[in-house]
Structure 1
Amino acid sequence: MANLNLVKIGKRYPTATVVDNLDLEVADGEMVALLGPSGCGKTTTLRMVAGFVAPTAGQILIGGKDVTTTPAYKRDTGMVFQSYALFPHISVFANVAFGLEMRGIARAEREVRVKKALDLVQLGHLGDRMPKQLSGGQQQRVALARALVVNPSVFLLDEPLSNLDAKLRNQVRLEIRALQQRLGLTTLLVTHDQEEALTMADRLVVMAGGHVQQVGTPEQLYEHPTNSFVAGFVGRCNLLEGAMAADGEFQTSRGNRISCVPGEADQHKKIVAVRPERMRISATDNGVGMSTGSLEGTVSSISYLGAQTEYVVAVGGDDFIVTHGTPSSSDPLHGIVSGSKVFLQWDRASARLLSE
């Protein structure tokens, strides 16, 4: 495998800039996820790496070699498309062998490599089947085998799980990650699914409007987002607008006071963020310690999520989302219903001040 370097790459059209001045390095054997909403530039970035879209600025290097103008078929990349892109009129075996045949690999070697690739994805016994005879998960594995069989230096995944149902998506997600780690594949993954990115990638690149908002490990982006966009996109978050009050507390635009631990650089920040699982909900006011904030509100909705229950609590004009382990029948929270008066507490250190 080889490392991948994107040096100030950009893609501009007459009416829009899709990707602007993007720098990124993917280390040898690392999986990096490009994460963001539709239209943020992540798929265009992936297709520039693959060679399907020509950048209008910057350089693309694979293993230190500049491939910016190299045709796609000479780039030594393997790509798995969102739609799988399998040929419906030829067998699974022939689909996987196609890339090798286009590269002029001898038939005997093709057969060995195709068999090995199908075995890797646990489909060695289905080589004679036609794509239409396979389930969605099996078709996805064929697409993976077809990308892997060429022994790519860089492995590219474009929304690889979006066409699978939820249960199968979780299973295939684990399989792809295990395969990537076992083979040491340098991998660039595109997804809009935050859970997919958090569980699969070594690092995340959050994009918006063609620009990188933040790069870091899943933990870094979740615990230390640099702005409100990242905080709201990576995991769920209570984001409230307002300003710092004279006493060091954050006052929301609706007048609620949020206890936090501001620094000197936070005085001009206009958003406070608190993760739902960092807030505690109780039926009675348990008192407030020096390091704790507290608010009184009314439950406006309750959602049962199995292991967890989600409460939406109205405090003045602000709504807070709070997640809590689903209470047992003996838990005081068990009696809380919509309309109940409740109290919210949180550690001051859990409330983060962010820029917009």
Structure 2
Amino acid sequence: MGTLSLQGLRKEYGQSVAVERVDIDVGEGELVSLLGPSGCGKTTTLRMVAGFIEPTEGRVVIAGQDVTKMPAYARQTGMVFQSYALFPHMTVAGNVGFGLEMRGVGRAERDRHIMEALKLVQLDHLSERLPRQLSGGQQQRVALARALVINPEVFLLDEPLSNLDAKLRAQVRGEIRALQQRLGLTTLLVTHDQEEALTMSDRLIVMEGGRVRQVGTAEELYENPADAFVADFVGRCNIVKGTIEGSAMRSESGSLLPCRMEGAPANASVLALRPERIAMQPGTDGSGLTARIGAVLYLGAQTEYQLDLDGTVLTAIRPTPQDNDALRHIKTGDTVNISWDPAAARLLPA
């Protein structure tokens, strides 16, 4: 497998800038995710790597070779599309072998590579079926095999799991990651799904408005977000606007919230606090902060609590209480004490 380097990549559509000077390096065998909301430029970036879109500025370098001006079919990239893009009139084997046929690979060698690719995704027994005879998960595996069969330098995944139901998505997600690691595939994944990015990636690149906001491992982005956008997009987070007052932040509604002052940026204007960091106790004994329960949402292993601190609204997530837990009988309208380690509440720029 090769490496991938995007150098000053920019894409304009008339007066609109879809991607603004993106610099990304993906190491050999690494899986890097482009994560962000719809319209942030992640798919445009991926399509420039694949050769479907020509950049306005910048370079795409694969395995040390500048491929910026090279057509898509000449690049050593294998791409899996969100819609699978299978030919409905072709068998599984025909779909997988299409790229090899276009490259002029002989029939015998082509058949051998097709079966090898189908064995990788455990579909060699379905080689003569048509796409309409397959489940969604099986169709996705065919798309994976078709991308792998050409032995690409770089593997590109464009929202590959978005058409699958939640349970199947988790299963195929694990299969793709295991396959990528086993084969050492240099991979660029586009997704808007936080869980997908967090569980599959070696590193994540958070994009917004065509720009890269932060690059890092899942833990780095979750524990040390660069700004409020990253904190809010990567995992659940309470974002509270306010002003610094002593060793706390005064929210816009007047609540005084303890936070970590060390290392806070000079332009800090929001407090970021993960819901699972908030501790709760029923009643009001004078310790911590007093909040009223606005809602209790049962989520199975966890329970979510909406908290109202005189106009400042926070979300707390706790393990679902058992029979002997003091929170077992908490309900909407009750009053509770809440607290958190000040180091868990980070001050960030907006």
Matches of 2:215 and 2:173 in 1, distance apart? Answer: 22
Tell me what 2:243 maps to: 243
| Per-residue deviation, 1:166 | 0.3
Tell me what 1:74 maps to: 74
Does the Cα contact within 8 Å between 2:264 and 2:347 map onto a contact in 1? Answer: no
Does the Cα contact within 8 Å between 1:274 and 1:350 map onto a contact in 2? Answer: yes
| Residue in structure 1 matching 2:349, options 330, 343, 355 | 355
Q: Which moved more, 1:81-90 or 1:262-271?
A: 262-271
Runs of 5+ in structure 2 lacking a partner?
Answer: none
Matches of 1:282 and 1:211 in 2, distance apart? Answer: 42
Tell me what 1:291 maps to: none
Q: What letter corresponds to residue 331 of structure 1 in structure 2?
A: D
Alignment TM-score, normalising by the size of structure 1:
0.97
Does the Cα contact within 8 Å between 2:264 and 2:348 map onto a contact in 1? Answer: no
Does the Cα contact within 8 Å between 1:312 and 1:320 map onto a contact in 2? Answer: yes
Decide whether aligned partners of structure 1 residues 171 and 265 sit closer, same or farther in structure 2, where only a CA change above 3 A counts: closer
Tell me what 1:345 maps to: 339
Give 3-state SS (helix, strand or coil) of 1:332's partner. Answer: coil
Runs ≥4 in structure 1, deviation > 6 angstroms?
none
Matches of 1:116 and 1:141 in 2, distance apart? Answer: 13
CA RMSD in angstroms comes to 1.0
Tell me what 2:196 maps to: 196
Matches of 1:53 and 1:268 in 2, distance apart? Answer: 38
Give 3-state SS (helix, strand or coil) of 2:110's partner. Answer: helix
| Per-residue deviation, 1:268 | 3.1
Does the Cα contact within 8 Å between 1:243 and 1:268 map onto a contact in 2? Answer: no
Give the length in aligned residue pairs.
Answer: 350
Tell me what 1:14 maps to: 14
| Per-residue deviation, 1:330 | 1.5
Give 3-state SS (helix, strand or coil) of 1:335's partner. Answer: coil
Give 3-state SS (helix, strand or coil) of 2:163's partner. Answer: coil
Does the Cα contact within 8 Å between 2:284 and 2:335 map onto a contact in 1? Answer: no
Give 3-state SS (helix, strand or coil) of 2:155's partner. Answer: strand
Q: How does 1:91-170 map to 2 (within 5 A)?
A: 91-170=91-170
Matches of 1:265 and 1:324 in 2, distance apart? Answer: 27
Runs of 5+ in structure 1 lacking a partner?
Answer: 289-293
Q: Write out per-residue CA displacement over residues 173-204 of structure 1, whole angstroms, 9 at most, x where no aligned residue.
A: 00000000000000000000000000001000
Q: Write out per-residue CA displacement over residues 304-353 of structure 1, whole angstroms, 9 at most, x where no aligned residue.
A: 00000000011111111000000011111011000000111100100000
Does the Cα contact within 8 Å between 1:244 and 1:268 map onto a contact in 2? Answer: no
Does the Cα contact within 8 Å between 1:273 and 1:353 map onto a contact in 2? Answer: yes
Tell me what 1:332 maps to: 326
Q: What letter corresponds to residue 127 of structure 1 in structure 2?
A: S
Matches of 1:194 and 1:218 in 2, distance apart? Answer: 10
Decide whether aligned partners of structure 1 residues 264 and 220 sit closer, same or farther in structure 2, where only a CA change above 3 A counts: closer
Q: What letter corresponds to residue 194 of structure 1 in structure 2?
A: Q
Q: Does residue 227 of structure 1 match 2:227?
A: yes
| Per-residue deviation, 1:167 | 0.3
Q: How does 1:296-311 map to 2 (within 5 A)?
A: 296-311=290-305
| Per-residue deviation, 1:264 | 6.0
| Per-residue deviation, 1:134 | 0.2
| Per-residue deviation, 1:267 | 4.3
Q: What letter corresponds to residue 250 of structure 2 in structure 1?
A: Q
Give 3-state SS (helix, strand or coil) of 1:333's partner. Answer: coil
Matches of 1:261 and 1:58 in 2, distance apart? Answer: 40
Matches of 2:113 and 2:264 in 1, distance apart? Answer: 57
Tell me what 1:261 maps to: 260
Alignment TM-score, normalising by the size of structure 2:
0.98
| Per-residue deviation, 1:284 | 3.6
